[in-house]
């Protein structure tokens, strides 16, 4: 490597790191939707989702605890993604976490959900989204019950409950 190439490489690397530090890289790498099987523009999502569903699924909003649709639901059935209808959670793994949000100790399949680190609060949390459309569902914490010890803390607005009797 010539000194000139070395300097050039160093400069490029330096710029890369600066861009990362400035938060430009995450913006570029932000889930554009292309990585998901179901992809829509915000305008298209707005047409098929209710405002609260759009706020939670597409803008990573969080609904109010206790005052939501499925927190207290104990009926047998399946919880589907409100965005793309992918089955995500079963009533078999739902439990009362007393947090005010529907909570599950496991998803229907590991393939149904994706996770990423969320730095919105001072401490990192693990964000959970639908693996098919990328819609934000909630977060997963490690204070759940056995056998997994996990608590999938979901927003009712991100889910559609399909009663077992309806199948
Ligand atoms: Fe989905």
The whole-angstrom separation of Cα 152 and Cα 106 is 7
Phi-psi region of 86 (alpha: psi -120 to 50; beta: other; left: phi over 0): beta
What's the number of domains the chain is made of? 2
The whole-angstrom separation of Cα 40 and Cα 76 is 31
**Is residue 69 located within the same domain as residue 15?**
no
Residue 90, burial from CB neighbour count under 10 angstroms (0-12, 13-18, 19+): middle
pTM of the model: 0.79
Pick the catalytic residue from 81, 84, 130, 153. Answer: 153
Give residue 131 CA to ligand 1 midpoint distance, Å: 7
| pLDDT at 11 > cutoff 90 | no
Give residue 99 CA to ligand 1 midpoint distance, Å: 24
For 17-62, how does the pLDDT look when each residue is reduced to its tens digit (9 = 90+)? 444 444 443 433 344 445 899 999 999 999 999 999 999 999 999 9
**Is residue 45 located within the same domain as residue 21?**
no
The whole-angstrom separation of Cα 137 and Cα 135 is 6
Is 153 a known active-site residue?
yes
**Is residue 54 located within the same domain as residue 2?**
no
What is the structure's pLDDT at 34? 55
Q: Structural domain of residue 11, as residue ranges?
A: 1-30
For 114-161, how does the pLDDT look when each residue is reduced to its tens digit (9 = 90+)? 999 999 998 999 999 999 999 999 999 999 999 999 999 999 999 999
**Is residue 26 located within the same domain as residue 40?**
no
Block residue for tokens 């915000």: 42
């Amino acid at each position: 490597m010539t000194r000139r190439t070395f300097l050039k490489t160093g400069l490029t690397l330096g710029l890369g790191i600066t861009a990362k530090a400035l938060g430009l890289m995450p913006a570029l790498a932000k889930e554009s939707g292309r990585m998901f099987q179901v992809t829509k523009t915000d305008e298209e999502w707005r047409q098929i989702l209710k405002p609260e569903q759009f706020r939670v699924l597409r803008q990573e909003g969080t609904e109010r605890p206790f005052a939501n649709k499925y927190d207290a639901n104990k009926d047998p059935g399946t919880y589907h993604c409100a965005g793309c209808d992918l089955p995500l959670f079963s009533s078999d793994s739902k439990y009362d976490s007393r947090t005010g949000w529907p909570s599950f100790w496991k998803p229907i399949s590991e393939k149904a959900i994706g996770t990423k680190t969320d730095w919105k609060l001072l401490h990192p949390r693990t964000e959970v989204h639908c693996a098919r459309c990328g819609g934000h569902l909630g977060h997963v914490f490690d204070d759940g019950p056995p056998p997994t010890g996990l608590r999938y803390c979901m927003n009712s607005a991100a889910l559609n409950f399909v009663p077992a009797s309806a199948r």
